[in-house]
Amino acid sequence: MASAAEQLASNLNFSTFAKAEDLKKRLWFTLGALLVYRLGTHIPLPGLNPAAYAQAFHNQSGGILGLFNMFSGGAVQRMAIFALGIMPYISASIIVQLMTSVVPSLENLKKEGEQGRKIINQYTRYGTVLLGALQAYGIAIGLEHGNGVVVDPGWFFRISTVITLLGGTMFLMWLGEQVTSRGIGNGISLIIFAGIAAGLPTALAGTLELGRTGALSTGLILAVLVVAVLVIALIVFVERAQRRLLIQYPKRQVGTRMFQGDTSHLPLKLNTSGVIPAIFASSLLLLPATVAGLGNNTALPTWVTSIVAALGHGQPVYMVFYGALIAFFAFFYTALVFNPKDTADNLKKHGGFIPGIRPGERTAEYIDYVLTRITVIGAIYLVFVCILPEILVSQTGIPLSLGGTSLLIVVSVTLDTVAQIQGHLIAQQYEGLIKKSKLRGGKRGR
C-alpha cells in the first residue's frame, strides 16, 4: 500500500489538480477564512487614543509583548479586535489535555472515541471563554493605567473591551474549526501561520533598514540570514525524518494456495509532536505578562512586575523556562498522540509482528523504548531550533518574526499543508482509478 501511494504521489501533476474540484473549493475556503482573519487584525478596539497607545506599545515592544504581537499577526500593535488571538484556546487545550491524564472521568471520555472527544472539545471551549475573559479584563486594566491611552476609563470601557476581545477569540476558534472541517485542515495552526507570515516581509524590511542606517553591520545581517537558511534546512530535514520499524505478516493459505507473508513499515517521526511544544511553551510564558504588558506598572504588586521582568524576551530565566517547557511538551504531546499499547494491539489483531519481538506487551514495550529514544532527539532539536535564533534576536536586536519559533511554525505548517494537499490529490487520483475500473468492468460485462 505504501509503494502504491508513493507511485501515485510521483504521478501527480497539474491535470490532477485541475480535476480536483473538492480540493479547489477547500483551498478557496481556507484562503477566504485567512483573509477574514487578516482583516480583523486591522479593526481597532473602540475607546482608545491611537497616538498614546502607539507610544505605550513602542515602550514595551522589545519584551514579551513583542512575542504576543507576533503570534497575533500584529493585532496587539494595533490593539485590534483579534488582539487576544487564538492563545486562550491553546492555553485551555493545554489545561484540558493535562487534566485528561490525571482526572479519571476525563481519561474515560478520551477512550470513548468520537463522542468523548466532542465532550472534551466542549470543555476546552468553556476554558477558552474563562481564560479569554480574564486576559481581556487584564488588558483593559493595563490600558487604563496607561498615560492617556483610554479616552474614557471606567466600567463601560472594561466591559466593552472584554466583550470585544473575547468575541474576537471565540470567532477565531470557530474559524479555525471551520478551516479544519471544510478547508484543508490544521485550522488553528494556519491562523497562527498567517499571523507570523504576514509579519515576515516587514521584519525583513526592518532588518535591512537597520543595516542601511548603520545600526546593524552588513556582515551581521548576512550571518543572521545564513543562520536562518540553515535552521530552515534543519527543520525540513528533521520534520521529514522517520524511524521505520519493520513489520512482518505470516504466510497465509487460501484454499490450496499458499501466499507469502507481506512486509511493511511502522513509521515513527523523529519529531512526533511537531510544532505544538513551541506554541504551548510560548502561550504559557505569555500568560504572566497579559495583565502587566501595557501601560504603567506602578499600580501592580512588586512580585508581579518582577516576574514579568524576569520573563522578558531574551532574559536568561525566559530562555531556561522556554527550553524546559518545549522539552516537556515534546514528550507530553507525543504520549498523547501516539499510544504504543494500542499500536501493538492493532498489529497483533491483524497478525503483524516485529521480527524478534513477541507480539502484545513486549511489542508495546519495544515501540515505547524506540519512541522515547527518538523523542529525546526530537526534543533536543526543538530546543535548539527555538533557543539559538532567540539568543541571536536578543543580542542583535533584529525583529522577533525572524526568530526560531516563528521559523519553526512557518516551515512546519507549510510542510503539513503541502502534505494535506498531496493527500487530497492522491485521494482524487484513487477515485479516478476506481471509476475507470468500474467502467471497464461494465463494458466487459456487456
For 37-88, the pLDDT digits (tens) are: 999 888 888 888 888 888 777 766 555 566 667 767 777 778 888 888 888 8
Q: Hey, which of 208-212, 353-357, 387-391, 423-427 has the most confident mean pLDDT?
A: 353-357
Assess contact for 169 and 132: CB atoms under 8 A.
Answer: yes
What is the C-alpha to C-alpha distance for residues 384 and 380, in angstroms, rounded to an integer?
A: 6
Cα separation, 289 vs 281, whole angstroms: 14
Q: What are the cell numbers at 79?
A: 490593539
Q: Which CATH code fits 217-436?
A: 1.10.3370.10
User: Does the pLDDT of residue 360 top 80, yes or no?
Assistant: yes
Backbone angles phi, psi at 45, to 5 degrees: -70, 135
Q: Which residue has the cell 507481506?
A: 262
Quote the pLDDT of residue 159.
Answer: 92
Torsion of CA 184, 186, 187, 193, to 10 degrees: -110
| pLDDT range class, residue 356, cuts 50, 70, 90 | confident
- Comparing CA positions, the residue from 78, 1, 396, 376 lying closest to residue 210 is 396
- Give per-residue burial for 303-321: e unless 16+ CB within 10 Å, then b: eeeeebbebbbbbeebbeb
- Is 50 exceeded by the pLDDT of residue 295? no
Using alpha carbons, list the distances in angstroms from residue 222 to 207, 209, 218, 228.
11, 13, 6, 10
Mean pLDDT estimate for the chain: 79
Q: Which residue bears the cell 516563528?
A: 406
List, for residues 383-406, the tens digit of each pLDDT value. 998 887 777 777 766 665 666 777
Give residue 45's pLDDT: 87
Task: Report the share of the chain in percent with pLDDT over 90.
Answer: 12
Nearest 5°: the CA angle 261, 266, 270 is 160
Q: Is a pLDDT exceeding 90 seen at residue 374? A: yes
Angle (CA) 404 410 415, round 5°: 125
Cβ atoms < 10 Å from Cβ of 232:
16
| Mean pLDDT value across residues 144-161 | 84
Q: Which amino acid is at 376?
A: V
From the list 410, 29, 55, the residue with the least C-alpha distance to 199 is 410
416 has a pLDDT exceeding 70:
yes
Q: Which of 404, 403, 387 is nearest to 315 (CA)?
A: 387
CA distances to 70, 156, 200 from 203, in Å: 10, 36, 5
From 115-129, 235-249, 269-283, 385-399, the region with the lowest mean pLDDT: 385-399
Residue 261: predicted pLDDT = 63
pTM over 0.85: no
User: Residue 80 in contact with residue 96, Cβ under 8 Å?
Assistant: no
Q: Is the pLDDT of residue 425 over 90?
A: no
Of 115, 125, 114, the closest CA to residue 174 belongs to 125
pLDDT on residue 212: 80
| pLDDT value of residue 12 | 52
pLDDT band at 17 (very low <50, low <70, confident <90, very high): low
178 vs 306, more confident: 178
Helix (H) / strand (E) element for 243: namely strand 242-248
- Indicate the pLDDT class of residue 411, thresholds 50, 70 and 90: confident
Each domain of the chain, given as residue ranges in start order, spans 21-215, 217-436
Grid cell digits, residue 378: 526530537
Highest-pLDDT range among 22-26, 253-257, 292-296, 392-396: 22-26
Residue 421 and residue 131: Cα distance in Å, rounded? 34
Q: Is the pLDDT of residue 137 over 70?
A: yes
In this predicted structure, what is the pLDDT of residue 60? Answer: 63
CATH no. for 21-215: 1.10.3370.10
Q: How many CB atoms lie within 10 A of CB 21?
A: 9
* CA 20 vs CA 25, 33, 421, 422: distances in Å: 9, 20, 10, 11
- Give the helix/strand (H/E) hosting 190: helix 187-213
Q: Which residue has the higher pLDDT, 178 or 227?
A: 178
**β-sheet bridge partners, residue 215:** none
pLDDT grade for 294, boundaries at 50, 70 and 90: very low
Q: Could you read off the pLDDT of 176-220 as tens digits, one per residue?
A: 989 988 888 888 888 888 888 887 787 778 778 877 887 777 887
- Please give the radius of gyration of the chain, using alpha carbons only, rounded to the nearest integer: 25
Q: Do domains 21-215 and 217-436 have the same CATH topology?
A: yes
Residue 94 corresponds to which cell in the numbers above? 493545554
